[in-house]
Amino acid sequence: MTRKHGEATPFRQAALIIVDVQNDFCPGGRLAVPDGDRVVPVINQLAPLFPVVVTTQDWHPANHCSFEAQGGPWPPHCVQGSAGAELHPALDRQHVTARVKKGMRADADAYSGFEGTDDTGHTLAEILRQHGVTEIYVTGLATDYCVRATVLDGLKQGFKVHVVTDAIRGVNVKPGDDARALEEMRSAGASLETSAEVLSHADVPARGSTGAAYRGSEGSVGE
């Protein structure tokens, strides 16, 4: 099954995975990732290209084992039903096909989106296979935790995995954690690409900060 270069729908068997773009991981949140919200406009620009778009959400009970009060490493974050657990308000939902949640058990952490399930109990891998997806483009938060784990799991599950390097941000508990995580993903087989490179494969010009809508290569003829 080869795909011709320049085919009109290069993302026909691809899914965009939006990892944990939640209020608690953005500035002002309980476990804010520096510049975490800056991924949102990049992701919003990519989403229309993909036939399948899946969001993941960290979705913890109030007594989750990863919280400091239970001896875990993190302040309380993404508590089920709280505002902090909601997707960032500027994240465009109109192209989202499925939403998975993870980290719902009090006694286990789950960094990978592949440990998540939708509201009917389907895992991320099941959702992707149901849609004929063979390639995933991973975006979101945080590079050194849930993005990393999702990418490594995606590779183990046999997907071709792309990481969109300007659509992710790291926590960097130790300086350089994000760069080390990226190198680990790359050496495990992931392809690192900028959003401009991804958009160029779709024959869509990268958009500047003016917010101008992108146009197809033919413009609007034939009215």
| Residue 20 in contact with ligand VGL, rule: CB under 6 A | yes
User: Applying CB under 6 A, does 145 fall inside the site for ligand VGL?
Assistant: yes
The catalytic residue positions are 20, 102, 146
Binders of ligand VGL in range 31-70 (CB under 6 A): 58, 66
Tell me the closest approach of the beta carbon of residue 137 to ligand VGL, in angstroms: 17
58 binds Zn ion (CB under 5 A): yes
- Answer for which of 141, 164, 167, 168 binds ligand VGL (CB under 6 A) is 141
20 lies in the site for Zn ion, by CB under 5 A: no
Which one of 40-48, 142-150, 157-165, 208-216 is the stretch in contact with ligand VGL (CB under 6 A)?
142-150
Residue 142 binds ligand VGL (CB under 6 A) = yes
What is the SS3 string spanning the chain?
CCCCCCCCCCCCCEEEEEECCEHHHCCCCCCCCCCHHHHHHHHHHHHHHCCEEEEEEECECCCCCCEHHHCCCECCCCECCCHHHCECCCCCCCCCCEEEEECCCCCCCCCCHHHCECCCCCEHHHHHHHCCCCEEEEEEECHHHHHHHHHHHHHHCCCEEEEEEEEEECCCCCCCHHHHHHHHHHHCCCEEECHHHHHHHCCCCCCCCCCCCCCCCCCCCCC
Q: According to the binding rule CB under 6 A, does residue 146 interact with ligand VGL?
A: yes
Residues in touch with Zn ion (CB under 5 A):
58
Residues in touch with ligand VGL (CB under 6 A):
20, 25, 58, 66, 74, 141-142, 145-146
